[in-house]
Amino acid sequence: MRVRTLLSATALLLAMAAPQAPARAAEPLKISVGWVVLSNDMAPLVFLKPDILKNYGKTYTVEATRFQGTSAEITALAAGELDIASLAYSSLPIAIENAHLDDMRIVSDGFQDGHPGYNSIEYRVRNDGSVNKIEDLKGKILAINVIGAAVDIGGRAVLADHGLMYPRDYSIVEANFPTIGPMLLEHKADIASVPPPFSYTPAVVQGTHTLFTMKDGMGVSQMIVMTARKGFLDKNRAALDDFFDDLVRGTHWMLNPSNRTAAIKFVADVTKQPEALYDSYFLTKKDQYHDPDAKPDLVALQRNIDAEVKFGFIKKSIDVKKYSDLSFVERAARRYAKEETASAH
């Protein structure tokens, strides 16, 4: 027993004297983010340019997943396959009411449509077509990306104001945004919702014109909001603070006029599109509006959802403030402003 005690004491002393291996650093949190049109949503766009960020790769990384429409992101979010979803004003209440994601939280701005002085998504018709006014769309075909998406709701709202109801008076076809313009030009649709950058392609500009815009039906819209489930937010607050710090930092970098040339080159490289396409509109008043501090317009969002009830697209409204947690972007905005003030001095 004395021998065993002596051996145990010796082993303990040796262990204490031996150099300690450094503790293994925690792996960065991998955040899965959904998107539909990469040049419209600042997240995950800015996370593809880590050289303008402070925390990327240290406390978090981003895995970006493309969806044809925001409504498809609801299923992925509910299944735990997506951490942060970009949802439209049309898909948000469906996620809460139909998919029973009552723990959904709005966490930041995606982009806003029809903000004063900025672009609104266009519904375009062919120059050589027979549609000269909205009433001419009776019996015609509307092309959108996904039934139930914001551009679907916005288009139906305008047509309903002119007495045209789906499916009684017109048909709807679905297609990916990049193919909607060509479909219109090839007479496979009579009117199409064509958002940037696709509305600025030469063929669309030359062969079509705008009949109405999203703003005509919905007013100023909080088109896209970034959302996450409360459990994910509560579990990962430290890493998410860094994520939103970088979102705000990256958004300010993108919106800074002195960085526009570099930003256009970056987006063109990422999307494999010509720089000239983005130079015609990107980050100007011809583009969608992005809040520099990534803060969504909850007043507009509430009005958009209430309008959906009015037009009969959903049965009841939701209180968007109840489903919001803007604490991340508010903290990030304060930290960014403090850093900018310090660097200026």
Q: How many CB atoms sit inside 10 A of residue 274's CB?
A: 13
Go through the domains of the chain in sequence order and give each one's CATH number. 29-112+222-344 (3.40.190.10), 122-218 (3.40.190.10)
| pLDDT band at 25; cut points 50, 70, 90 | low
DSSP summary character for residue 235: H
Which region among 51-60, 215-224, 309-318, 326-335 has the lowest average model confidence (pLDDT)? 309-318
User: Mean pLDDT score of the chain, rounded to an integer?
Assistant: 91
Please list, in sequence order, all residues whose beta carbon lies within 8 angstroms of the beta carbon of residue 159, skipping any fewer than 6 positions away. Answer: 134, 137, 142, 165, 166, 169, 170
pLDDT tops 70 at residue 15: no
Token readout for 25 is: 């650093």
pLDDT higher at 312 or 277: 277
- State pLDDT tens for residues 51-88: 999 999 999 999 999 998 898 999 999 999 999 999 99
Tell me how far apart the alpha carbons of residues 191 and 143 are, in angstroms, rounded to a whole number. 6
Apex CA 42: angle with CA 39 and CA 44, to 5°? Answer: 90
Query: For 106-160, what is each residue's pLDDT tens digit?
Result: 999 999 999 999 999 999 999 999 999 999 999 999 999 988 889 999 999 999 9
The residue-averaged pLDDT of 2-30 equals 51
3-state per-residue secondary structure call for 107-160: EEEEEEECCCCCCCCEEEEECCCCCCCHHHHCCCEEEECCCCCHHHHHHHHHHH
- Give tens-digit pLDDT for 173-215: 999 999 999 999 999 999 999 999 999 999 999 999 999 999 9
What mean pLDDT is predicted for residues 30-55?
Answer: 94
Tell me how crowded residue 109 is: count the other CB atoms within 10 A of its CB.
27
Tell me the pLDDT tens digit for each residue of 218-257: 999 999 999 999 999 999 999 999 999 999 999 999 999 9
Question: So what's the pLDDT on residue 4?
Answer: 41
Residue 19 has pLDDT above 60, yes or no: no
